[in-house]
Amino acid sequence: MSGHRWAARAAAGAAAVALTVTGGAVAQADDDIASLGAEEIADRSRDALLGVSSLHLSARGSLDGSGDPMSVDLTLDREGNCAGGVDMGEDGSVEIVKRAGDVWLKPDKAFWETHVPVGGSTFDAILDGRYMKAKADDPRLLTVTEVCDLDTFRELIKDNADAADRGTLTKGRETEVNGEPVIPVTRAQGDERLTVYVATDGEPYPVRIAVRGPGEEGTVNFSGFDRPVPARTPSADETVDVTALLGRSVKPV
């Protein structure tokens, strides 16, 4: 599974736990969230995440059964802007910047060698450490641009909330994540355990998701809620317009 699809899988995992419950009582703002039941906490967490305009997502692990670790680090918003990157280990890494209708990608040498074995070294030489720039609506780049849009993850959350089989939700004991007080809620479904750590101070955001199961192990961290995506885009000196380049036999990145 390529890195961008892994990022989407990570977000789907977040949705599957944080936010699997429909119906039930809706908790009020003055409730002590740690005192609520697992389903009510999941409701609160889902609503809080659906309400944000932007966030920072950091994920690491193996969620495709291959055992190969990958990492994703993205700041993204509901306008489709994003900045960050995907690291696929030995398969290479890609830096990503998307702003309005344009997207900039900077694959490393290992990425070209792995994903474009015929001609990849030529593309790498042409770029020479610079970003490749293209229109964000280029169909060959949709898997990247969709990951850069927070609304894509919001749809995953909604889809998982409507899932028929959500497993069993249980609440754990209060603990901390990066010094922040949280309450864990775990979904058990077959051999998979997926735990969301929900902030108990302020908005009940999901701040960490942990996935454990056969062939799957990973962690997704959420932070920077409602903070803007960095506005800087690569300069002309850092960029190669690769519209013609993309017309060659290059796999979607």
- Residue 199: how many CB atoms within 10 A of its CB? 22
Rounded average pLDDT over 188-202: 89
Residue 67, pLDDT score: 61
Residue 54 pLDDT level (bands cut at 50, 70, 90): very high
CB 134 within 8 A of CB 141: yes
Query: 247 burial class (0-12, 13-18, 19+ CB within 10 angstroms)?
Result: exposed
CB 137 within 8 A of CB 160: no
Q: Does domain 1-13+32-157+167-221 have CATH number 2.50.20.20?
A: yes
Predicted confidence (pLDDT) per residue in 202-250, tens digit = 999 999 989 888 877 888 899 999 999 999 999 999 998 877 565 544 4
Distance of alpha carbon 59 from alpha carbon 208, whole angstroms = 9
Q: Which residue has the higher pLDDT, 171 or 168?
A: 171
Structure token pair of residue 148:
């850069």
Sketch the domain layout of the chain as residue ranges: 1-13+32-157+167-221
Residue 92 backbone phi and psi in degrees, to 5? 105, 175
Tell which phi-psi region holds residue 82, choosing left (phi > 0), alpha (psi between -120 and 50) or beta. Answer: beta
Residue 208, pLDDT score: 93
- The residue type found at 77 is D
Predicted confidence (pLDDT) per residue in 100-113, tens digit = 889 999 989 888 88
Residue 169, pLDDT score: 87
Rounded average pLDDT over 135-148: 80
Residue 143 pLDDT level (bands cut at 50, 70, 90): confident
Residue 66, pLDDT score: 59
pTM for this structure?
0.81
Predicted confidence (pLDDT) per residue in 4-16, tens digit = 444 444 444 444 4
Structure token pair of residue 239:
């960029």
CB 86 within 8 A of CB 72: yes
Distance of alpha carbon 232 from alpha carbon 36, whole angstroms = 42
